[in-house]
Structure 1
Amino acid sequence: MFRTALRTVLAHKARLVMTVLAVMLGVAFVSGTLVFTNTISDAYQKSSAKGFDQVDVAIQAESRQDEGDTIAERPKLTQALLDKAAEVPGAGSAIGVVNGFTAIADQDGKLVGNGFQSQGGNYWGTKDPRYPLTVGHAPRGKNEIALDARTAERAGYKVGDTVRLSVDGPVLTPKVTGIFTTDDGNVAAGGSLALFDTATAQQLFHKAGEYDEIDVKAASGTSQIALRNALDEVVPKDVASTTTGKQLADDQATQIASAMSGMKTGLLVFAGIALFVGTFIIANTFTMLVAQRTKELALLRAVGASRRQVTRSVLIEAFVVGAVAAVTGLAAGIGIGAGMRSLMGTLGATVPDGPLVISPGTVATALLVGILITMLAAWLPGRRAAKIPPVAAMSSVHAKATTKSLVLRNTLGALFSAAGIAVVLYATTLDGSDGQAPMGLGAVLLIIGVFILTPLLSRPLIAAAAPVLRIFGVSGKLARQNSVRNPRRTAATASALMIGLTLITGMTVMAGSLQTSIDKMASSAIKADYVVSMANGNYLSTDVDKKLSATDGVTATSPLRNAPSRIDGETEYLTGVNGRSINDLTDLTVQDGAFKVGGTQVVVDDETAASHHWTAGSRFTASFEDGKKQRLTVTGVYQSTEMMRGIMLDNATLTPHLTDPSDMQVMVKTSAGASGPVKDRLEKALGDNPAIKVQDKKDISNDIAQMFTLMLNMLYGLLAMAVIVAVLGVINTLAMSVFERSQEIGMLRAIGLDRKGIKRMVRLESLVISLFGGVLGIGLGVFFGWAAGELLGTKMATYELVLPWGRMALFLLLAAAVGVLAALWPARRAARLNMLTAIKSE
């Protein structure tokens, strides 16, 4: 039986090529994902580990919880503590670390790095072991900096050049005095690092006389554990904690692995979708192969082979096909992993250097997935063939599906579909993340249910196309009959395409609805023409508001100044605004009282008011950052939006209580409204600062939507894999169907149907099956898009369903194009059959 199975595989090489391709694509995606994520993760972990070479023990400030009406002050790591740490027995040296956001402009004035990874820090003394200088000398004074070598190369700077940079708003123009190398993970990932001398860094980052961290290097012969134990004796427990360099490296490695885990999971989900779609093709292929060899298998039964041996022979074929597909898929996956890493470089995302990681786990997973998927998909057709009585099979009277089996299948499909719809509808009633798991479960149940019901659905839906097919005469009529002749085969072929289009349509519905919601969010609560903020979301210097207020054409400004406070024993954040101009800059719906801010009068959003049981006229006591208290009066309650919420009070009241005032953003209204020249004037007033964004409402909307658009385009690319597998399935089914119907096609040729008619028949059959899958996919996609939107609407008040009719029509055309393209080779093959040879074939 083993030799028979191998000979069968070799005898039907052409028929199994598409199956091999389907499995290979799925395996390639899985193994490529594992190679890519393992390579990136390994490179970052090794890079981050190098960054801790100069740290044996790190001293870090302890976080404190707010208590009562007192806001906890963050403990400070002072020079005195650093000096004490340096004198501990076993300590070789101690370095005080200061860091913060520093935006660097290149020669064209554009921001280097991506904002969040643009960092600044301090260079320790004249020779910092963390940052070996390759050119020049250490920075001294506020007009000198050192740049990392990668940033200097990308931005085109060398020693002696003047650099434009910003820390919290104002533009600084220091001179580059040194270029250094670093293993910093942010720099390796495409960010930038600028170093000042310690005093300048402390001043710029508002940390005068203190450090963010103290790194201690052990003396020769002292272990990290011994040094940490010694430091624990002198470091106050309520001020700071100590951590070994090894632990820091391990923690960062864990964080990197965790961050990569999300990406890996996402990519593997789409690999799973491709494999899931491929499973239909494999099952369809083996069903047809077994059906075409019914007499052959019956003969084996007649000469003594048992049912188990027949099933085993089919599984051996599947094993061989799966093994070949898994090996080629693994090889292709390694290439995909390397290509994805190179692609990241071309997209501007720098990855640390490191070898391509092909772990034993990746190899085992690829082989296991390829072989198991193929064998599982082939098991049912093999079992079904083994159950056919030999005499019936040799007489070509093998039973078709009985009424009982059809009723059972349709009942099962209806139950799954009903359960799926019920669970999805239940999920839409839940709040946000609570509904995600039920939504996923309901989607899976519904897709399985529709797949089971697809043979039943195929007849009425394909029958609906009959009037159009009549236009093509005999070819159209035959195409319709061929499509419904074997509903299970048609269903399996259409389902592969259905799944891909379901996901694509669902995401497109959500994306269109989100874009509309984001546009509403950006414009509904703001009357300001522009909103000014830092590129990385950090705080702005208060000088920014002063410069904007003094700019020609600016009629009103209001900085939004955030500060913690204690109210009724809870931490609440206050938002300081310009009480005189805030009404001209916002358009908030007032639910109670009046929108009036000034002195001790404040306005509160509806959610905060409800949590404290406040109404217009309520009074409460707020404890500020400096420990002082003030009695405040609620003049109005407004409806919160995604852009505006919280307790608003006048900056004149809030600012005196802040030790280091800074703004989240500044809202600006101009006499000329939003326009290109006005925007240029505002940017010029701020010194064309690379760290500051000046955005109108459309810019804000595009900025928020950019992430969704990027994700959507990535998902489209990933789902294209599933569509490609579906196309292979249609080609495979048609090619094998043509082979199966050789005698019939020969007879049609003999009675007068020409080659063009045969080609047209096969093409129309493919078109009908593809459009059937497309209609099901788009219908399910719209339902899932609506349901996911209902879930998202609980977190986004402006969300509303928008159906992208144009895109859905495009997807239907895509399904039609898939049908036409998939039929090219099978139709040509059918038309070239020799009619006499075909009539004689069995």
Structure 2
Amino acid sequence: MLRLTLAQMRRSLPRLVAAGLAILLGSAFLTATLTAGDAITRGGYDAITASYGSADLVVAADEVTLADALEVARDTPGVTAADPLVLGWASFTSGRRSVSQAVLAQPSAPSLASLEVVDGRAPTSSDEVALPPSTAERLGVGVGDTVRATWVVWSDEATAVPTDEAAATSDEGAVATPAAEPAPTQPVATESTADVAVVGLVDDPRGAWSQYGGAGSATVDAVVLWSGRSGLDESGGTVLVEVGEAADVEAVRTAISEDLAGGGEVLTRDEAAIAAVEHFGGGNVIVMLVLGFAAVALLVAGLVIANTFQVIVAQRTRMLALLRCVGARRGQLRASVLLEAGILGLASGTAGVLVGLGLSQAALSVLARTQDGVPLPTTVHPTLTNVVLPVVVGTLVTVGAALVPARAATRVSPVAALRPADDPSVRARPGRVRLAFSLLLTLGGVAALLGGVAMGRAGYAVDAMLPLAVAVLGGATSFVGLLVGAPLWIPAVVSAVGRPVAAISTTARLAAANTVRNPRRTSATSTALVIGVTLVMMMSTGAVSAQASLAREMDERAPVDLVATRIDGAAFTTDVREDVAALDGVAAVVPARSGLVEGASAMVEVLVVGPEQTHVVRDAVAADALASGRSVVPRWWADDATQVEATGGRTARIDVLTRATDGALLTTQAADDLALDEQETALLVLLDPGADAMGVMQDVQDAVGSDAVQVASAAAERQSDERFIDVVLAVVIGLLGVAVLIALIGVANTLSLSVIERRRESATLRAVGLSRRGLRWMLATEGMLIAVVGALIGTVLGLLYGWAGVAAVFGPISDVRLSVPWAHVGAVLVVAVLAGLAASALPARSAARTPPVAALGVD
């Protein structure tokens, strides 16, 4: 039987090429998806933990000081390097130019560095500094020059802040009354300066400090001094650890954890990334997105392969019947078909893995050259799962797809099968069993999909991944149910769309009639494109909606595009405000009060926003709350309280709305109740849509360069994150191109079967006067009609599944914004028409070139 199977495959090689190509592309699609998922996950983790360099372990000192955690890490066997992650600020002056710059402590090991020395060397003493190239250019200095560093030291001696009662009491004739509690005090800021040498230029290759416009580098002692601390024993922080190659990372991690005795948390870099994502709620979004995409890809690849191979086996039904006539048993034929499917699936799946890895490597190489600074790996690192799974899936799905056609072919009577079968009956309709099974899968799947979305939006789940798992399972089940019932409803849709087309010409009327003559053939032809278009529109809709949801989440985290803050407590001059407002890309600038407010658990930085200044706040919810008299504070600072007791210049109780923000926005009334300094020490800047956030930040630094000012741009950080998202979408779009190609092959295959089945019909039309051109246009119209219907159905399904997927993934994090990618919808419809036309070209050419006499013969 093996020799017979191989001989049949050799004779049917042209016919098997299309099926093998579809399996190859399906396996390549799955391989590329899994590989891209790994690259996206790795890139996402690297982006989140870019400030940690390549550290093996990250120690968060919670209940112990940073100095104690650093000592424990350095004394642990197997640790080759351990350094604190300390960021400070200093103002650097050269001549009349001055820039306030974030400065990072230089680690002792290169693997712990997030900055890269691009010129000169790293600082080794406290009177040396390495600056970002942009800062050095603005100061007009280079390696070897000297700049003056200025920083603020907050003294321990504090001055009393008079209370309202004290201010209202005159010195003469006042009646002395005992104070209930000491008057609030505020520390005094003192400027210090020193000359430092510029010994190098440092770049931020992975955008770890993009919100500050990059960072400089100095020794730990210098950064601690410039940050105003007395030493590392003053507070907690983060320690980065490098583990030697001979040591076991887990053993070192356990040893550090035991020595800290619960005073700190020891994490790997990936665990730190997951913790950072989960800090904002909703579980690990990156892993959820990748797993959801891989699950959908697995389903779609399986459905396309199954549909394509069913067509190929159906084309060989008469040959199988002929083998029955010459003595082959049903079991032998069934085994032959399954063996052929297994060989085809194994060979094509293996080739697909190689093609998928090649495409992934090519994509990464292109992105590495065109997307500088995006943290994606430059080479493919195939895993056992990425290599084996596509081959196994391709083989099993191909064999599984051959089961039903093989069983149907062997059960047909040889005599009946050998009769001409190219006259399908209009009355041939799917049965009730198919209808019941389709309804069961569709309704049950929709219920599970909606349940997963509801769980995600309500945040109710045993595990953060559960809503996604339920939604993906429900979506897949409902989609399979729709495909199972496709012969029941797709012909009706095709018939409805075909009525206006039939009025165009006689050829168009014949094409419209042909689309509904065989419901199973029509549904099989359209289903191939439905699958591809559904995937395309689902991912496009999901991407657009995800971008909107992520943008809203970023707006909630950092509601002001750019904040410039004076660190000496003085107010900005009117000239500086006007200079900043005049910059390109700046839409609005408002001065604001700033300070620190203490709550029940910790201190929080606050900005004061008046009711007439809320237009600079991007978060609409926060802006409405401020306008109505409620302050906006971080959820980690006040939980879900509506009122909190806080202390600034004095203690007061204020109305609040908690949001997932990093800092607090206070109303003017709340700031007055807390007796905050009335100096307007901050500038809140709103950027124009589409403005270059990084460029605007540098321009603002230049405009305020003569002042000791810290400039932080949430818009620059958002721009860096969106650039990574755009690269991820580029990878996804590349994968979707493969899906469309698979769907096009499916359309071509089923149209080819349609031509074979209707050879006698086509010959009859030719015999009664239909020209070759007319026959070609009839088949082309039929192909385009079915393709357009498939595209329309796929677009609707893709929109629904895309919205549901985004709601399940982002529901626990923030309010979901559902969007329609209209440009993609239009492009898909155009491509569908062209795909139907292209898919019908070869079958139409074959039908037109067959002589009527030859086609009318019975073979």
Do they superpose with TM above 0.5? yes
Aligned match of 1:617: none
The Cα of 1:472 is off from its aligned counterpart by: 5.1
Q: Deviations over 1:210-235 (max 9, x none)?
A: 1756789999x9999999999999x7
Structure 1 letter corresponding to 2:218: F
The equivalent residue for 2:433 is 408
| 1:632 alignment counterpart | 653
Residue 638 to residue 358, structure 1, CA distance change in 2 (3 Å): closer
Say which of 216, 225, 249 aligns to 1:203: 225
Contact 1:591 1:639 in 2 (8 A): no
TM superposition shift of 1:686: 3.1
Report if aligned partners of 2:296, 2:476 keep a CA contact under 8 Å in 1.
no
Alignment check: 8 A CA contact 2:24 2:349 kept: yes
Following superposition, the deviation at residue 497 of structure 1 comes to 1.5
Q: Classify 1:611/1:278 alpha carbon distance in 2 versus 1 (closer, same or farther; 3 Å).
A: closer
Question: Counterpart of 1:336?
Answer: 359
1:504 to partner: Cα distance: 3.5
Residue identity in the other structure for 2:87: G
Amino acid at match of 2:217: L
**Code of the aligned partner of 1:532:** L
Contact 2:61/2:239 (8 A) holds in 1: no
Residues 136 and 465 of structure 1: CA distance in aligned 2, closer, same or farther (over 3 Å)? closer
Q: Deviations over 1:707-765 (max 9, x none)?
A: 76665554433322211110111112222332343343333323322110111111011
The residue that corresponds to 2:14 in the other structure is 14
For residues 453 and 813 of structure 2, the distance between their equivalents in structure 1, rounded to whole angstroms, comes to 14
Contact in 1 for aligned 2:306/2:398 (Cα 8 Å): no
Percent identical among aligned pairs is: 24
Q: Which residue of 2 aligns with 1:685?
A: 703
- Give the equivalent residue in structure 1 for 2:97: none
Verify: 1:808 aligned to 2:825, yes or no: yes
Partner of residue 174, structure 2: none
Q: Which runs of 5+ in 1 are unaligned?
A: 65-74, 106-114, 535-539, 615-619
- The 8 Å contact of residues 281 and 729 in structure 1, kept in 2 or not, is answered as yes
Kindly report which structure 2 residues correspond to 1:90-109, keeping only aligned pairs within 5 A, or say none: 97-100=84-87
Q: Give 2:65's aligned residue.
A: 76
Once the two structures are superposed, the pairs formed by residues 453-602 of structure 1 within 5 Å of their partners are: 453-471=485-503, 473-509=505-541, 531-533=561-563, 542=567, 546-547=571-572, 551-553=576-578, 556-558=590-592, 565-566=599-600, 575-577=606-608
Of the structure 1 ranges 498-507 and 511-520, higher mean CA displacement relative to structure 2 is found in 511-520
In structure 1, distance between residues paired with 2:801 and 2:376: 39
Which residue number in structure 1 is paired with residue 158 of structure 2?
none
* 1:144 correspondence with 2:128: yes
Spell out the pairing of 1:179-190 with structure 2 (5 A cutoff).
none
Q: Judge conservation of contact 1:164–1:172 (CA < 8 Å) in 2.
A: yes
CA distance in 2, matches of 1:215, 1:549: 43
| Deviation of the 1:491 alpha carbon | 1.3
Give the partner amino acid of 2:651. Q
CA distance in 1, matches of 2:445, 2:754: 33
One-letter identity of the residue aligned with 1:771: V
Q: Is the 8 A contact 2:491 2:516 kept in 1?
A: yes
Work out which of the residue numbers 372, 380, 384 in structure 2 matches 1:348: 372
State how far apart, in whole Å, the 1-side matches of 2:756 and 2:91 are: 66
What whole-Å deviation, never above 9, does each CA across 1:681-700 have from its counterpart, x for those lacking one?
Answer: 7554234999956699xx99
Q: How does 1:802-841 map to 2 (within 5 A)?
A: 807-840=824-857
Cα 1:453–1:287 shift into 2, 3 Å: same
Alpha-carbon offset, residue 38 of structure 1 = 6.6
Match of 1:312 in 2: 335
* Alignment of 1:299 onto 2:322: yes
For 1:468 and 1:321, the matched residues in 2 are separated by 42
Give the whole-Å Cα distance in 1 for the aligned partners of 2:738 and 2:420: 39
Q: Partner letter of residue 99 of structure 1? A: V
| Match in the other structure for 1:384 | 408
- Per the alignment, residue 199 of structure 2 pairs with 177
How has the CA–CA distance of structure 1 residues 380 and 137 changed in structure 2, closer, same or farther, with 3 Å as cutoff? closer
| Cα distance, 1:525 vs structure 2 | 14
Q: How does 1:631-650 map to 2 (within 5 A)?
A: 631-634=652-655, 650=670
Moved more, 723-732 or 419-428: 419-428
The equivalent of 1:738 in structure 2 is: 755
Contact 2:42-2:377 at 8 Å conserved across structures: no
Structure-2 change in CA distance of 1:60 and 1:518 (3 Å): closer
Structure 2 spans left out of the alignment, 5+ residues: 93-100, 153-190, 277-283, 461-466, 582-588
Q: 1:758, 1:656 → 2: CA distance?
A: 84
Pair 645,420 (structure 1): closer, same or farther in 2 beyond 3 Å:
farther
SS of aligned partner of 2:62: coil
Q: Give, as a single letter, the amino acid of the residue that structure 2 aligns with 1:459.
A: P
Note if 1:276 corresponds to 2:302: yes
Shift of residue 311, structure 1, vs aligned partner: 1.1
Q: Distance in 2 between matches of 1:325 and 1:62?
A: 53
Cα 1:782/1:723, change in 2 over 3 Å: same
Instruction: Check whether the contact 1:123–1:138 (CA below 8 A) recurs between aligned residues.
Output: no
Deviation at 1:280, TM superposition (A): 4.1
Q: CA deviation at 1:43?
A: 12
Distance 1:29 1:651, change over 3 A: same
Question: C-alpha deviations, 1:253-310, integer Å up to 9, x for none?
Answer: 9999x9996676366345425513422432332343233xx2x322322343222211
Q: In structure 2, how many angstroms separate the alpha carbons of the residues matched to 1:39 and 1:793?
A: 21
Which structure 2 residues correspond to residues 258-273 of structure 1 after superposition, within 5 A?
265=291, 268-269=294-295, 271-273=297-299
Which amino acid in the other structure matches residue 360 of structure 2?
G
- 1:123-162 equivalent positions in 2, closer than 5 A: 139=123, 144-146=128-130, 159-160=143-144
Partner of 1:537: none
* Paired residue type of 2:765: L
Tell me how far apart the structure 1 counterparts of residues 219 and 143 of structure 2 sit (CA, whole Å). Answer: 16
Length, aligned pairs only: 768
In the TM superposition, what is the alpha-carbon distance from 1:9 to its structure 2 partner?
1.2
Could you tell me how far apart the structure 2 residues matched to 1:45 and 1:797 are? Answer: 21
**AA paired with 1:199?**
D
SS, match of residue 106 in structure 2: strand
Cα deviation for residue 24 of structure 1 reads 0.6
**Offset at 1:832?**
2.0
Cα deviation code 1:330-349 (max 9, x no counterpart)? 22123123213313312224
Deviations 1:410-465 (A, max 9, x none): 22223333333444455555535555444333322332222122212133222224
**2:144 is paired with a residue of what secondary structure?**
coil
Q: Flag the 1:330–1:473 CA change in 2: closer, same or farther, 3 A.
A: same
Deviations 1:508-556 (A, max 9, x none): 5566667788999999999x9x74149xxxxx66469944766243784
CA distance in 2: counterparts of 1:166 and 1:412, whole angstroms: 76
Q: Does 1:728 align with 2:722?
A: no
Structure 1 length-normalised TM: 0.71
1:118-148 deviations in whole A, cap 9, x for unaligned? 9832356xx9998899986662666633589
Contact kept, 8 Å, 1:608 with 1:646, in 2: the verdict is no
* Alpha carbons of structure 1 residues 543 and 372: separation in structure 2 relative to 1, 3 Å: farther
Instruction: Show the 5 A alignment for 1:767-806.
Output: 767-784=784-801, 787=804
Q: CA deviation at 1:77?
A: 3.3
Task: Give the aligned residue type for 1:345.
Answer: A
Counterpart CA distance in 2 for 1:392 and 1:254 is 63
8 Å contact 1:432–1:794 — kept in the other structure? yes
- Aligned pairs (5 A) from 1:653-664: none
In 1, Cα distance between equivalents of 2:486 and 2:427: 17
Task: Say if 1:507 and 1:712, in contact at 8 Å, map to a contact too.
Answer: no
Please tell me the residue identity of whatever aligns with 2:29. F
Checking the alignment, whether the CA contact within 8 Å between 1:123 and 1:195 is kept in structure 2 is no
